[in-house]
Structure 1
Amino acid sequence: MSEQELHRLWRDQPAAAESFDPQELRRKADDWHRVVSKRNRREYVAGAIAALAFLWFAVSAHDAWTRIGCITAIAGLVIALYQLHRRAAAAEPDPAEFGTPVALHYRAELCRQRDALRSVWLWYIAPLLPGPAIMLLGPYMSGRSAGGGLNDLIGFLIFAVIMALILWLNSYAASRIQRRIDQLDRSLMENSK
């Protein structure tokens, strides 16, 4: 057996199920709630800073396409942040829950976050695309090139790389959450025997 085959077997082996301790599960659920809440706060702050930057660019812009693109980008940010709140806000665990209900709440929250991350292209990336597209293509559509082909191409490539990175990071995070769900499911199955 080759070293690569051994590595693949080791990597693909099922993880051992954790023991099912309701208090430990409660701690994990609470920790998860804090992690998600902190992530969302960072997103809200970053979105507010980006919206202020676009507002400043809109006010100081010399052409209508840049103004329209900036206002559209602000609208896209508002939509993305609203969807973040709607789809991925951390749900408070019920203090009265203990044991299996905590496990079910924790699992439901993991699934909700995984699903939100898997669909981030639709509710987070898509609303952000029209603003930069208008700023980039608008001058060409009106027969005026804003900053020259190379500058526009570099700006577009930077934006595309950032969007691709966001998609990849969210896909990676969703796969990690799926592993947590699988591990929790194994633990629940072991403890139900």
Structure 2
Amino acid sequence: MNPEEFARGSWQDSGSAAALPPLEDLRARADRFRRRIVRRNWIEYAAGIVVVVLFAAVALFVPLPALRIGAALVIGGTCVVLWQLRRRGSPLSPMEHGGQLSVLDYQRRELVRQRDALDSIFTWYLLPLVPGMLVILASPLLSLPLAQWEWPPVDAQMAMAFPVFVFVLIYLLNKRAARQLQQQIDEIDALRAA
């Protein structure tokens, strides 16, 4: 074997791709991610129950009809959000058996599923709440005759802008989280290609 063949063989044997991590590390990482999803979902479910209870009180006890309708719409929207969270955001059941590649496939599938849920957050999480919030924000005007409508004062405009700010913040944070999950998907794809 001449020096050129030896160098070529050594270079090919060394491989430029990263080696697969140990199976225990892959499983631990998948389990941590799954627990994080479960914890996030339980927090969302608890928050949804609080929203339903609070807006049910508004719908039952506030005398303004528009505010009562808006509260009922928020309750309906919250129920849609919780159903969609269960449908889109619940973790897949963990794999019982399998080697490194099957754990990688499971983790990739879970990451793709969660990325897609976060990436489409506007349509299934924010949009169902918009009609109720719009009616609630407009309820002071809707309770007045049309001739008495006037532009709200600055403090009322700021109060109206706050839910919009929160919705935009939720949207942006979830888009950022979706991009982070995509990076993890890319890492798994690189490992699988190795």
State which structure, 1 or 2, has the greater radius of gyration over its C-alpha atoms: 2
Contact persistence 2:64–2:143 (CA under 8 A): no
Counterparts of residues 75-90 of structure 1 (less than 5 Å)? 75-90=76-91
Find the aligned partners of 1:149 and 1:98 in 2 and give their Cα distance: 63
**Percent of paired sites with the same residue:** 32
Establish whether residue 184 from structure 1 lines up as the match of residue 188 from structure 2: yes
* Residue 152 of structure 1: how far off its partner (Å): 3.7
Find the aligned partners of 2:158 and 2:74 in 1 and give their Cα distance: 19
Counterparts of residues 32-47 of structure 1 (less than 5 Å)? 32-47=33-48
SS at match of 1:149: coil
Where structure 1 has 5 or more consecutive residues not aligned to the other structure, the ranges are 1-15
Partner of 1:149: 152
SS at match of 1:129: helix
SS at match of 1:35: helix
Q: Which runs of 4+ in 1 moved over 6 A?
A: none
User: Structure 2 vs 1, CA of residues 169 and 21 (structure 1 numbering), >3 Å: closer, same or farther?
Assistant: same
Counterparts of residues 1-193 of structure 1 (less than 5 Å)? 17=18, 19-141=20-142, 143-144=144-145, 149-150=152-153, 151-190=155-194
Partner of 1:11: none
User: Structure 2 vs 1, CA of residues 18 and 82 (structure 1 numbering), >3 Å: closer, same or farther?
Assistant: farther
Find the aligned partners of 1:73 and 1:56 in 2 and give their Cα distance: 12
Please give the root-mean-square deviation of Cα atoms over the aligned residues, in Å: 1.9
User: Structure 2 vs 1, CA of residues 56 and 142 (structure 1 numbering), >3 Å: closer, same or farther?
Assistant: closer
With structure 1 as the length reference, what TM-score do the two structures score?
Answer: 0.83
Find the aligned partners of 1:88 and 1:140 in 2 and give their Cα distance: 37
Contact persistence 1:117–1:170 (CA under 8 A): yes
Contact persistence 1:73–1:128 (CA under 8 A): yes
Where structure 2 has 5 or more consecutive residues not aligned to the other structure, the ranges are 1-16
Contact persistence 2:89–2:114 (CA under 8 A): yes
Find the aligned partners of 1:73 and 1:131 in 2 and give their Cα distance: 5
With structure 2 as the length reference, what TM-score do the two structures score?
Answer: 0.83
* Residue 97 of structure 1: how far off its partner (Å): 2.7
User: Structure 2 vs 1, CA of residues 95 and 19 (structure 1 numbering), >3 Å: closer, same or farther?
Assistant: same
